[in-house]
Structure 1
Amino acid sequence: MTQVTRLLIALAAVCAGLIHLALVVGSPVPIAVFAAAIGTAELAWGLITFVRDRIEAPVVVLSVALFPLVGWAAIVAAGAVSGATEAAALPVLPLGIAAVFDLAIALVIARRLRDGERKVIRTTGAEPSAPRLLIPLFIGSLAAALLVTPALAATEAGAYAQPHGEHDADFVPQKGDPIQLPDEHGH
């Protein structure tokens, strides 16, 4: 695996983790616990993968990358069968975008496992030149931002976010004043 590939799947893991953590807000407790656990694991693994030059336990990584896909499918299927409204209320856009990131991780790891790297996937090859490293990372970061931003906005946490440009003097508490949040127009 090249350094660029390792860094891009680490970025994908961080993006999926952020989306799953944003889904915690407003979700029913069992779904919130599931999303918090998966999001934390993805975020931690992504950050560790940024720092290290290898991927430890790729079989576990593959399982964790596929677990949210199977979990969300099970939740939606159970909700459809039982008629539970909580499962029907899950936001499709964030789940779909997180699934894209998780599938990208799973595909890269599965490819490396197929090549026989079971215990550790090491970064191979010489260190790339700056353009060969920075251009793919810039494109990957741009794509991640273009996908993660609408996904986060489509979550309950994004619905309550203060829109840009709408901060005024009433939003910032003055010394000694109790904090009073501005009206959020229907939130």
Structure 2
Amino acid sequence: LVGSYLTAAEGDALIAERLASFDQRRTAWESLPEADRNVCLRAATRDLDACNWQGRPTDSDQGLAWPRIERSGACVYGLHGSSVPLPDSGEITEWSRAGVPLEILVACAIQAAHKAHAALGLSEAAQLDADAQRGVTARSGTSGSVSLDPVHSRSPRARLDPDALAACEGLLAWGGDLA
């Protein structure tokens, strides 16, 4: 579990609960062996930790961005408060990381599925983002052309899958990530 908010089993349960069986991200995730799913979970955690979140880490030595506290010392919780519900599958009896909001756990799982999809070369969005990070400003093909924004692609939020971002956006700090 080093470097990730979720174990592979927790990721499996959340992905099965949140992504439809025909979703290509879920199919990509399920096609990977456990070791590769753990790699995707660590990459997803790094993507999430790069974002600017409300509050600050509870301990300066904790290694990951979550759990967090506000200036007042109160914990930063998501919509479910300190009680983070478990997946309906019943396979998970407790979360491996205490104090991490469900929104972050869900975002981590979806982002890991996105990483699996991109790693298998199936994600057009991941290819466009990689082009933008290399400095490509436009791309044309048989399906049309697209302009790329290299500044936007450097934003940590821009690296997040739209569904992962939607899951956790209520916990993001105001003002964005590019200061």
TM-score, length of structure 1 as denominator length: 0.27
Q: Which has the higher contact order (CA 8 A, sep 6+)?
A: 1
Higher helix share: 1
Larger-Rg structure: 1
Q: TM-score, normalised by structure 2?
A: 0.28
